[in-house]
Amino acid sequence: MSLVKITGLHKHFGANHVLKGIDLEVAQGDVVALIGRSGSGKSTLLRTINGLETIDKGELVVDGAALHDGKGDLRALRQKVGMVFQQFNLFPHLTAGQNVMLAPTVVKSTSKREAEDIAKEMLLKVGLSDKFNSFPDQLSGGQQQRVAIARALAMKPKVLLCDEITSALDPELVNEVLAVVRQLASEGMTLIMVTHEMRFARDVGNKLIFMHQGRIHESGDPKTVFAAPQTPELAGFIGAVQ
């Protein structure tokens, strides 16, 4: 059974038809790499899966939480899905630990003590157990992004969406963040990630999706798809990013 099932999904921004009938199934434990040129609709697709954008038409189901033509239980959907963005957006006046504790405390009414335990566990998971009391400006970009991952994990999502989470980082900090994602994948976390790290997509992903002009233009096993792109658009894209 699919953890995420998207059927005939359409999204417009005014006259701009941004998602033109997306069909996508993601199983528990899948690591989906989403690639494509700027403007092809990758971020919009992730944001619809997280309930951050409304849907004009189509169906979206995440672990039983469903939206039909934009109507449904958004709150239930959001509880199933975690998201990490290119900009880490940590609260600067809160420590790493407090940043991670915030959502469980506010959204789930978890007790402070329990939220603290969750935050410690999640910071350990991303290799930052010694930074609980550090403020964001005392951390490197890579460490801040790892706190942002811990913050998303603290809500115990069924699926984690990552939108170009290494794109804002200095090159020497990219690998420490990718290592965390690789670890999560090996532990069975279901991941959908927009990435420009093609080697990472090929090595860690088990599904590759190439978006072009609001449609899934090609998809399949990453190693197969990269080795033999079937369309000139994907061949051109791979050539341009390598």
Residues that bind ligand ADP (CB under 6 A): 13, 16, 18, 36, 38-44
Compute the least distance from the CB of residue 239 to ligand ADP, in Å. 18
Q: Which is nearer to Mg ion, 75 or 196 (CB)?
A: 196
Closest residue by Cα to residue 47 from 155, 143, 162: 162
Q: Which is nearer to ligand ADP, 47 or 158 (CB)?
A: 47
**Residue 230 touches which of ligand ADP, Mg ion, none (Cβ within 5-8 Å per kind):** none
**Residue 13 touches which of ligand ADP, Mg ion, none (Cβ within 5-8 Å per kind):** ligand ADP
Closest residue by Cα to residue 225 from 185, 233, 19, 186: 233
Residues constituting the chain:
242
Please state, in angstroms and as integers, the Cα–Cα distance from residue 72 to each residue in 13, 23, 25, 69, 107, following that order: 20, 19, 19, 9, 19
Compute the least distance from the CB of residue 222 to Mg ion, in Å. 19
Within 8 A by CB and 6+ apart from 147, the residues are: 88, 90, 96, 99, 100, 123, 126, 128, 131, 136, 139
CA 146 to CA 88: how far, in whole Å?
9
For residue 203, report the phi and psi dihedrals to the nearest 5 degrees. Answer: -80, -40
Contacting residues toward Mg ion, per CB under 5 A:
42-43
Compute the least distance from the CB of residue 211 to ligand ADP, in Å. 6
Q: Which is nearer to ligand ADP, 36 or 142 (CB)?
A: 36
Q: Which is nearer to Mg ion, 42 or 212 (CB)?
A: 42
CA 82 to CA 151: how far, in whole Å?
9
Q: Which is nearer to ligand ADP, 42 or 125 (CB)?
A: 42
Q: Is 241 exposed, middle or buried (0-12, 13-18, 19+ CB in 10 A)?
A: exposed
Compute the least distance from the CB of residue 165 to ligand ADP, in Å. 13
Compute the least distance from the CB of residue 211 to Mg ion, in Å. 10
DSSP for residue 41: S
Place of tokens 């978890």: 110
**Residue 162 touches which of ligand ADP, Mg ion, none (Cβ within 5-8 Å per kind):** none
Compute the least distance from the CB of residue 16 to ligand ADP, in Å. 5
Enumerate the β-bridge partners of residue 65.
62
Q: Which is nearer to ligand ADP, 136 or 205 (CB)?
A: 205
